[in-house]
A and B are shown apart, each in its own frame.
Chain A
């Protein structure tokens, strides 16, 4: 049974986690005889994050979730739903979300599911968790986007596929909300631009087909419908964040709609983070919340191959100032002086790209 009329729902806590390891575009290009400057210029990428051998979607999701709970000041037992969106769940059969829920103390009275929709699995989890709060079914819901994505050796994806996680705790107590959700919109069609079949280690993609008919059509379609629904124009937003498969696409999809570079750059992390897949636009949103001022409007539009986009219009509240420094900021993690640059051999070992003797 529901909890009665809900006034307004929104984000009450958020957290991001970015692993320490990095690899530069030059290091990957060197191995495959590719032209690093053209990749750097063409994709607007400089380096990407790499998970350590003891990190995966679950470990990063747990750390991001703990930061979200810390900022919210909410105990795990009050979380009524845990949704983890990823295309790199460590198990083919066994949920990631149960481990996350157990680690944050949300078990046993909790709904849990893993989501999968290429790079928009994270925003799906956010969408559903927030919807359950709005319906009054649960008090707090956690939506997480996390990935340790793989690109095939030598493939264009190898320059971008990276690792990271973002978690958002949703609630309806007005005094706890740091970003109110005012509008949402989802836009999707059956567009096979990127996929990974059962038992395949690496995904495949349809090269340039991933652009105009896939990323741009859905990101634009969702953005336009969302702004129409909200009665808002690009100039009404302080910040906007799109899915970030590389550096170029999110910048272009923003500029072509009339957003300025200044509105885009705060959440534009891919040039030095890479593509964190399900974590991409959610981590971008955390970077925006780290600096956003009360009263500012934010638009977030994810994109997942297959294909579709989820859009959200947020309005930042006064409470943001009280919670943002309760956990590590996203840019601080991204630009940390603890970054460790890997050579390709170590990167290949960490990512399980080397075929070893079976024991």
Chain B
């Protein structure tokens, strides 16, 4: 990931910043310019929750470049409340432990790195809560 692209996503990936539509109340993560629900264009800043439940998941066993060292790893859709579902990796879990409905929290992790000398991209990953 290029450094500018990495930088643009920091408010969402580092601090889970979202936008709440002033017209219909829908929470958008990441924020958008136009609300897909009511086409409203005014938002107030908010944050999504840092806990949630796994809605569905898959296990990646043949990983793309940059992720091969982590295989097998899980990618899940996590419901964090307020109607928001996010797609993220699940860390600190064995594939056979994963289950729909598993409670998770979002932790700050390395997501990818632009080779050995490029910028490191940080963000959130889900980890199980036991």
| A and B pair up | yes
| B108 partner, pick from A103, A105, A338, beta carbons under 8 A | A103
Residue in chain A with minimal CB distance to B47: A105
CB of B125 within 8 A of CB of A90, answer no
- A20 CA / B130 CA spacing, docked (Å): 13
- Provide the bound-state CA to CA distance between A83 and B97, in Å: 38
Contact indicator B110/A54 (Cβ below 8 Å):
yes
Query: Do A52 and B108 have beta carbons less than 8 Å apart?
Result: no
B70 contacts A by Cβ under 8 Å: yes
* Closest A residue, CB atoms, query B113: A90
**In chain A, what residue has the closest Cβ to B66?**
A359
A55 at the interface (CB under 8 A from B): yes
* A55 touching B110, Cβ below 8 Å: yes
On whether A103 and B109 interact (CB within 8 A), knowing A52-B92, A338-B92, the answer reads: no
Chain B interface size, as a band, is 20 to 34
Asked if B120 is at the interface of the complex by the 8 Å CB criterion, the answer is yes
Enumerate chain A residues within 8 angstroms of B110, measured Cβ to Cβ. 53-56, 59
Inter-chain CA distance A63–B109, complex, in Å, is 9
Q: Does chain A have a CB within 8 A of B96?
A: no
Known: A20-B92, A338-B92. A90 touches B111 (CB 8 A): no
**B92→A63 contact, CB < 8 A:** no
- Knowing A53-B69, A63-B108, A349-B69, say if A99 contacts B92 (CB, 8 Å): no
Q: Find chain A residues with CB under 8 A from B111 CB.
A: 54
With beta carbons under 8 angstroms apart, the residue of B116, B125, B130 that contacts A338 is: B130
Looking at chain A's contact residues, the main secondary structure is loop
User: A54 contacts which chain B residues (CB < 8 A)?
Assistant: 70, 89, 91, 109-111, 125
Question: Which residues of chain A are near B122, meaning CB under 8 Å?
Answer: 58-59, 62, 99, 103
> Taking the nearest CB of chain A, how far is it from the CB of B21, in angstroms?
23
Of B14, B89, B91, B115, which one neighbours A103 at CB under 8 angstroms?
B14
B107: which A residues are within 8 A, CB to CB?
59, 63
Residues of B within 8 A of A56 (CB): 110, 120
Is B24 close to A, CB under 8 A? Answer: no
Instruction: Verify A59–B69 contact, CB threshold 8 A.
Output: no
Q: A residues within 8 A CB of B108?
A: 58-59, 62-63, 66, 103
Kindly name the residue among A56, A58, A59, A62 whose own CB sees the greatest number of chain B CB atoms within 10 A. A59
B 100-119 binary contact with A (CB < 8 Å = 1; else 0): 00000001111100011000
In the complex formed, the residue of A with least CB distance to B127 is: A20
Are B10 and A59 closer than 8 Å at their CB atoms?
A: no
CB contacts (< 8 Å) of B128 on chain A: these are 338
Which of A's residues lie within 8 Å of B, judged by CB?
20, 52-56, 58-59, 62-63, 66, 90-91, 99, 102-103, 105, 337-338, 340, 349, 358-359
16 new A-B pairs (CB below 8 Å) besides A52-B91, A62-B108?
Answer: A53-B69, A54-B70, A54-B110, A54-B111, A55-B110, A56-B110, A59-B107, A59-B109, A59-B110, A66-B108, A99-B122, A102-B15, A103-B108, A103-B122, A338-B92, A340-B92
